Structure 1
Amino acid sequence: MAKPTRIHPAAKQYAAEVAASTMSRREFLTRATSLGLTAGAAYALIGLPQPARASAQAQRGGTLRIESTVKALKDPRTYDWPQMSNYTRGWLEYLVEYQVDGSIMPSLLESWEINEDATEYVLTLRDGVRWNNGDPFVAKDVAMNIERWCDKSVEGNSMASRMASLVDEETGKARAGAISVVDDRTVKLLLNNADITLIAGFSDYPAAIVHDSFDGDPLSNPIGTGPYLPAEFEVGIKAALVRNENHSWWGEGAFLDRIEYIDYGTEQASIFAAVESDEVDMIYESLGEYIDLFDTVGWEKSEANTANTVVIRPNQIAEVNGQKPYADVRVRRALAMAVDNAVCLELGFSDNGTVAENHQVSPLHPEYAELPAPVFDPAAAAALMQEAGMADFEHELISIDDTWRKNTSDSVAAQLRDAGIKVKRTVLPGSTFWNDWIGYPFSTTDWAHRPLGVQVLALAYRSGEPWNESGFSNAEFDALLTEALAIADAEQRREVMEKLQEIMQDEGVIIQPYWRSIFRHHKPTVVGADMHPTFEIHVAKLGFATLEE
């Protein structure tokens, strides 16, 4: 049984805001549970019972077939696609788990406590967990993983961004004394500066926990704490998990004998044909006009209102023919001024979402500050491009060849041309596009939902971070972001966030046209398959409904 945890003073204030209808329940659950309150206690604090877990209705046995891209695997701390983690979740688990309702639940951790100024974290491990090779799961394993995450020298290690408050900037590794093992079940973290995002960072998909024998390849020696093992894996074709009958897993669930991930490419027509042919039981994501088509086959539809988004970004440090066209703020602002974000939502994503404001902080984020809509003025955009001496420059907008990202990019290019700005469109297959996504001068990428706006800004726009694809570097922005990360109260953090959002708009860092509502269809007999805001598939919760007597 999990030990009781104290109620952080901020959680009580959050509950009062829910009662006063100034905070949504989802925001409350994310904030309160990230501060160490259990989901049950969080629900109780606002006078609601905790919802029952759907997976309790599942029967044991069977094979579930999931339509999903099958991507090559690598060191989890360098994962840059949720699909990678959805497969390795079979045996590589997480310290905590972000839920559909917005709460953050313990997984390999039993509990955590945070001091009032968010500079000290005490992590308590779940008792009785073992690796599938028989080794006990102990505090030194957690400390080792956090140290791995802090290592900025590892190319593509985005976890270092999430662990910045533990990193020594001179060495680029965990600061001496930042991570300490108190006993076999307790780890203490002493931060360089206050950071209220650390637990939420533990839930992100690159934060899978690996064994101390891990060699960088999840498939070469699949030691983990989870209930499944890899059975087959072929990039772009198919992957499969099978229940590990020789492992005494700590959790509840793991109903299925086998889980298959089958890759039908990015075209929804191919996926719909697989559904009609009864080749799959669940799909990764329903898109565009096919959302309604999937409704016609009698499958269940699950929807999540999210902070998933698409970003069209000029890379400020990229060179094109010996010059850096997007280092000039006038060029970047001109591009943004020429695009009507509502048109992108309509043409690119069939209006299945809400219009965004070019700063990647969502109204779903608790610290979001409402700003005036971005200026849409094609004539002024053309004039600004002329002033920058770039009226004759041809911009090459690169995108992947799937449906919504391609269509959104096409709508941006068309609007730029309507403003008199020259644009060449280049569409690449996914296998090519993602090889160099970070380095393209002008391209379109998608970003997953994260619980907090400051998380997003720290990952994507702080100077020098691995996922900073825009090449944006601004000392004032970095200083304000450090300040925001230290403020536990979202209302106070909003004051700083407003300045950060304004800098993003004023600097023309990105065109970020809309927030995505996301959908997933599955057979009515499948349980545990609800669409997750961050596309996570929690494999241990999947199963087929128990047959009624």
Structure 2
Amino acid sequence: MLSVLFAAILLLSGCFSGQGNTSPKPSSNGKGGDSASAGPKILHLNNNEEPGSLHPGTAQGTHDSWILEGLFEGLTKKTPEGKIVPGMAESWETSKDGLTWTFHLKDGMKWSNGDPVTAGDFEYAWKYVLNPKTASEYAYQLYYLKGGEAYNSAKKNADLKALEDKVGVKATDDKTLVVTLEQETPYFLDLTSFYTYYPVDKKVQEENPKWALEASTYVSNGAFKLADWKHKESMKLVKNENYYDKDKIKLDEVDFVQIANENTAWQMYKSGELDMVYPLPQDVQGQLMASKNPEFHNGPDLSTYYYNLNNKVKPFDNVKIRKALAMAINRKVIVENVAQGGQKPAYSIVPPGIPDVNGDYQENGGDLFKEDVTEAKKLLKEGLAEEGMSKMPEFTILYNTDEGHKKIAEAIQEMWRKNLGVNVKAQNVEFQVKIDREHAGDYQISRAGWVGDYVDPMTFMDLWVSNGSYNDAKWSNKDYDALIKKAKTSMDPATRMTAMHDAEKILMDEMPIIPIYFYTKPYALKSYVSGFFTPINRYPQYIYADINKK
């Protein structure tokens, strides 16, 4: 999702008063959080952050993708069970060698403005992402296309048009898209449901490159269309009457407010101003889970909470110091006493839920490091001596504004102070500011989260290749790069999985990032709302939701 990036957001602390008010509170327009069954059905949600971009080609975080998933649809989409099914494409076939995919679009597909959705819109959108002038952080997700990386990595004076023409995506007519891959990619069909692979209306993009910045010019092809956008306040999505599957869409409107404070969002949920709240305050989810409240839902999440260590900044360029910090954290205390959402302590980076050749990839890999305060002290002393330092300098943990991230940072601060005698500060900034600073290398340690973009270990493992778009740790290892390349180019499942397991061992031995825990997906949903589903690598999905108040 991810990217991104995740950006994955963790759950906060707050007060739970027992039996909250589950009766919806009417809004100022009289429609209310539950929307009486006789009137328009309006779902009220909270997105936490202002989207960084609502253009599929430049979006990069869950604060973008949760909105985009309601507004757009790719060649394929996912069912509540996680099965990949036709979206804009009616059917597809592949060549025997797995390198050529031919997609056939459904008849009568339309954009929200009435323009026809064509195969050319997909070709245009994918090449837009790869165009180096676009500077898309997610361009690497299209490197699977033949010539994709060469185009995106073009030198300053290169013939961009010639390189673009060699990219392996071609609309042979309005309904046929032929895709040629660099090598067989087992999860390519999964990728076609990911938001970077969404189409854009070529006509609209060429006439107004800023179309995605305001609701008045916004054009999409999904179940909903963007009707209103009050920046940093709210967004209104309304049912798209041009959507081919509109009869299955029960909601008339989805209203998002942007409230960063999860305690405030929880209070809005209790008063009926929100119909669903995710993420939850940490103390609240602990209480809801313990009391078995019927409005509480939880499930697996293909995502990992971790800390970036800036490997270009001293003393975090020293592997012994990095490992000392990782080994001095008590993850059991964090998941049980701080996060309180059933999370699992992480001693590797790839989360559970991804199939291996046999069994689960994470379970097969097992724990790749351990907590050991005595060894951590020893490594810290040795690392500082190698750096010519007598003690660890004061440093700062950067996190995006969120009470949950704050509490985790405070817990880790105290563990490092108590176990290693080091002083740590914490600094909160807006989510997009954090992302920008990480990409620029303007930090020492930062909290991060990554939601898998597709269900394969590679969605995590390729994050830390040298010069990778999301290698915010600024780490480089030639052996790691070689193993990831081997896994990407091998046709044999056992060979590619073994290569990724070996690469993950290098990653954890070098410790450029510190895994903290594997996420779960706890949220609260009003009893009168049905139809939500939670793919393992997506936020809870509202597209097929319904509201029925009796």
Superposition TM-score tier, normalisation by shorter sequence: 0.7 to 0.9
Q: Is 1:365 paired with 2:354? A: yes
Q: Is 1:410 paired with 2:413? A: no
Quote how far apart the aligned CAs of 1:107 are.
1.2
Q: Identify which of 135, 143, 155 aligns with 1:163.
A: 143
Quote how far apart the aligned CAs of 1:95 are.
2.4
Map of 1:270 onto structure 2: 264
Q: Is the 8 A contact 1:528 1:541 kept in 2?
A: yes
Q: Is the 8 A contact 1:526 1:545 kept in 2?
A: yes
Map of 2:305 onto structure 1: 310
Q: Is 1:254 paired with 2:252? A: no
Q: Is 1:465 paired with 2:468? A: yes
Q: Is the 8 A contact 2:112 2:220 kept in 1?
A: yes
Q: Deviations over 1:86-106 (max 9, x none)?
A: 324443322222344232222
| Residues matched between the structures, number | 481
Quote how far apart the aligned CAs of 1:426 are.
1.4
Q: Is the 8 A contact 1:197 1:455 kept in 2?
A: no
Map of 2:99 onto structure 1: 119
Map of 1:456 onto structure 2: 460
Cα distance between partner residues in 2 of 1:485 and 1:60: 52
Task: Report SS of the residue matched to 1:536.
Answer: coil
Code of the residue aligned with 1:383 in structure 2: it is: K
Map of 1:328 onto structure 2: 318
Structure 2, unaligned runs of 5 or more: 1-36, 154-163
Q: Deviations over 1:39-89 (max 9, x none)?
A: xxxxxxxxxxxxxxxxxxx99942111122241342322223223233244
Map of 2:333 onto structure 1: 343
Deviates more, 1:340-349 or 1:502-511: 340-349
Structure 1, unaligned runs of 5 or more: 1-57
Map of 1:144 onto structure 2: 124
Return closer, same or farther for 1:310/1:492 CA change in 2, 3 Å cut-off: same
Q: Is 1:507 paired with 2:514? A: no
Cα distance between partner residues in 2 of 1:128 and 1:216: 27
Identity percentage of aligned residues: 21
Quote how far apart the aligned CAs of 1:303 are.
1.9
Q: Deviations over 1:463-482 (max 9, x none)?
A: 22222211122222122112
Q: Is the 8 A contact 1:299 1:523 kept in 2?
A: no
Map of 1:384 onto structure 2: 379
Quote how far apart the aligned CAs of 1:191 are.
1.9
Q: Is the 8 A contact 1:97 1:104 kept in 2?
A: yes
Q: Deviations over 1:279-336 (max 9, x none)?
A: 111223334221255577976333221222211120223x4xxxx4322222222222
Map of 1:233 onto structure 2: 229
Superposed, 1:82-231 pairs within 5 Å as 82-115=62-95, 117-172=97-152, 176-212=166-202, 213-214=204-205, 215-220=209-214, 221-231=217-227
Task: Report SS of the residue matched to 1:500.
Answer: helix
Return closer, same or farther for 1:468/1:154 CA change in 2, 3 Å cut-off: farther
Superposed, 1:284-303 pairs within 5 Å as 284-291=278-285, 293=287, 300-303=295-298
Q: Is the 8 A contact 1:285 1:520 kept in 2?
A: yes
Q: Is the 8 A contact 1:397 1:442 kept in 2?
A: yes
Cα distance between partner residues in 2 of 1:176 and 1:482: 22
Q: Identify which of 512, 524, 527 aligns with 1:524.
A: 527
Cα distance between partner residues in 2 of 1:376 and 1:70: 34
Quote how far apart the aligned CAs of 1:271 are.
2.0
Q: Is the 8 A contact 1:129 1:250 kept in 2?
A: no
- TM-score, reference length from structure 1: 0.79
Q: Is the 8 A contact 2:240 2:246 kept in 1?
A: no
Return closer, same or farther for 1:242/1:168 CA change in 2, 3 Å cut-off: closer
Return closer, same or farther for 1:162/1:510 CA change in 2, 3 Å cut-off: farther
Q: Identify which of 50, 71, 96 aligns with 2:50.
A: 71
Please provide the CA RMSD for this pair. 2.9
Return closer, same or farther for 1:331/1:403 CA change in 2, 3 Å cut-off: same
Q: Is the 8 A contact 1:120 1:190 kept in 2?
A: yes
Map of 2:21 onto structure 1: none
Q: Is 1:542 paired with 2:545? A: yes
Map of 2:276 onto structure 1: 282
Cα distance between partner residues in 1 of 2:298 and 2:250: 24
Return closer, same or farther for 1:448/1:372 CA change in 2, 3 Å cut-off: closer
- TM-score, reference length from structure 2: 0.79
Code of the residue aligned with 1:191 in structure 2: it is: L
Code of the residue aligned with 1:273 in structure 2: it is: Q
